[in-house]
Amino acid sequence: MSSRRFDTAAHAYDRFMGRWSRLFAPAVVEAARIARGDRVLDVAAGTGEAALAALAAAPDIRVVAVDLSAPMLGAARIKVAGQRVTMAVMDGQTLACRSDSFDAALCMLGLMFFPDPMQGASELCRVMRRGARAAVCVWPRHDRAPFPGIVLGVLAHHAPDQRAELLSSFSLGDPDHLHAVLRNGGLSRVEITSVVRRVVFDGFDDFWDPIATGGARASQALLGLPTAKREAVRREVRALIAPFERDGRLTIDVETLIAIGVKD
């Protein structure tokens, strides 16, 4: 999926998807075992939540944050101003970084969108020093992630021409497949853990409005539909998400898979 989908909505994306990234970024950073003075690569850095979590994990570290979208990195740059972070527009499948140059690597909710995830894993492995750890976070199967599973499932029904692209969010959701991708990319001692976090929205509108205004990966598909279909998608999503509503608020438990791999 092209980064251009997010260039015009980077700040809306940060307000919405940032909620999810902030929930899981500390666990991703912990899995990478970042230590004092490390040089850390954050691939598909988006608006910078993993980079921020890395900076908080250990003193005197240096972070290189890369993403295909310059506006996304612009939003991240505001958050990390004055800290030891270098940013660059870069394709995670062809990293313009020296081999054996990082002590840890992170990829937060990004690898499943790479055209060739194994090549992305191979690039992570190439640029890491021996003994370094990569920590990768992906969505699980859609039935284990009410968000984004419900929204993307309904959209895929109404926009069948975009079904494959929409459901690519779950393309690494099978742990065996994720394990194989990282192993075939050159990483060893691969371990995968399920991590669950809870998020609360102040009602359906708090959940839906950012999606309807460009703040999610699903937004462009939604906004490309005729008005009547957009309204139908909203109604269907609201009906499916109703079981998560309590006392006017939406309380959703969301799972991700966090995988670690080591460069031997």
Segment 98-113, tens digit of pLDDT: 999 999 999 999 999 9
Positions of the chain with pLDDT under 70 = 1-13, 15-18
Q: Which helix (H) or strand (E) holds 227?
A: helix 227-241
| Distance linking the first and last C-alpha atoms of the chain | 32
Q: How high is the pLDDT of residue 2?
A: 40
Q: How high is the pLDDT of residue 164?
A: 92
Q: How high is the pLDDT of residue 21?
A: 82
Q: How high is the pLDDT of residue 10?
A: 67
Q: How high is the pLDDT of residue 213?
A: 83
Q: How high is the pLDDT of residue 12?
A: 66
Are 201 and 249 in contact by the 8 Å Cβ rule? The answer is yes
Fold of 4-262: Rossmann fold (3.40.50)
Q: How high is the pLDDT of residue 134?
A: 98
β-sheet bridge partners, residue 42: 65, 106
Strands 62-67 and 85-89: parallel
Residues 6+ apart with CB under 8 A from 176: none
Q: How high is the pLDDT of residue 99?
A: 98
